[in-house]
């Protein structure tokens, strides 16, 4: 089980180390060098940089969520194996068929309650990761839409009605 945890940790470090900033900056620098009539390239680049930062924050939150789910699954597997080993030991000690049936019934009831609790815990982990990932994007969209006027060099609206 420690091997699975180590593999998960190594994978998450590898994914987290991917530096999208460098390639994004190179792309933005190329865009900034373009001269397009009627478009404020500096404003466009600044807006896109902010968009990329929001996307990066959302990706980081999603990665953290995936990592949390993976760690939770590894923990769950360890707990399940311990409980299964203990349950098999108890069942082998049961005497009469009635005692065995009672022990199996009790074991099934506990397993069901544990499964429901674990599903609720997993649901909370996924909800939190999704909220964090979408929050960065949801915050950025209105800001980005507000920047369109600056990018297109639109004149300010006059007081005429």
pLDDT in tens, 105-120: 888 888 888 888 888 8
pLDDT at residue number 90:
76
**8-state DSSP, 159:** S
**8-state DSSP, 96:** S
User: pLDDT tens digit string along 72-109?
Assistant: 888 888 888 888 788 777 777 767 888 878 888 888 88
Percent of the chain predicted with pLDDT > 70: 80
User: What's this model's pTM, rounded to 2 decimal places?
Assistant: 0.58
In a 3-state reduction of DSSP, which class is residue 110? Answer: helix
Has residue 143 got a pLDDT over 80? yes
Angle between helices 97-146 and 41-93 in degrees, nearest 10: 180
pLDDT at residue number 160:
52
- The domain limits of the chain are 36-151
């Amino acid at each position: 089980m420690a091997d699975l945890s180590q593999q998960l940790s190594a994978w998450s470090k590898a994914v987290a180390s991917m530096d999208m900033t460098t390639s994004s900056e190179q792309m933005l620098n190329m865009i900034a060098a373009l001269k397009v009539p009627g478009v404020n390239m500096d404003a466009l680049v600044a807006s896109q940089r902010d968009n990329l930062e929001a996307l990066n924050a959302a990706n980081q939150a999603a990665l953290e969520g995936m990592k949390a789910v993976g760690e939770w699954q590894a923990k769950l597997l360890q707990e399940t194996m311990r409980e299964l080993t203990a349950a098999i030991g108890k069942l082998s000690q049961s005497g009469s068929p009635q005692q065995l049936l009672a022990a199996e019934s009790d074991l099934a009831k506990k397993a069901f309650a544990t499964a429901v609790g674990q599903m609720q815990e997993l649901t909370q982990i996924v909800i939190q990761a999704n909220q964090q990932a979408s929050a960065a994007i949801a915050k950025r969209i209105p800001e980005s839409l507000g920047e369109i006027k600056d990018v297109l060099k639109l004149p300010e609206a006059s007081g005429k009605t």
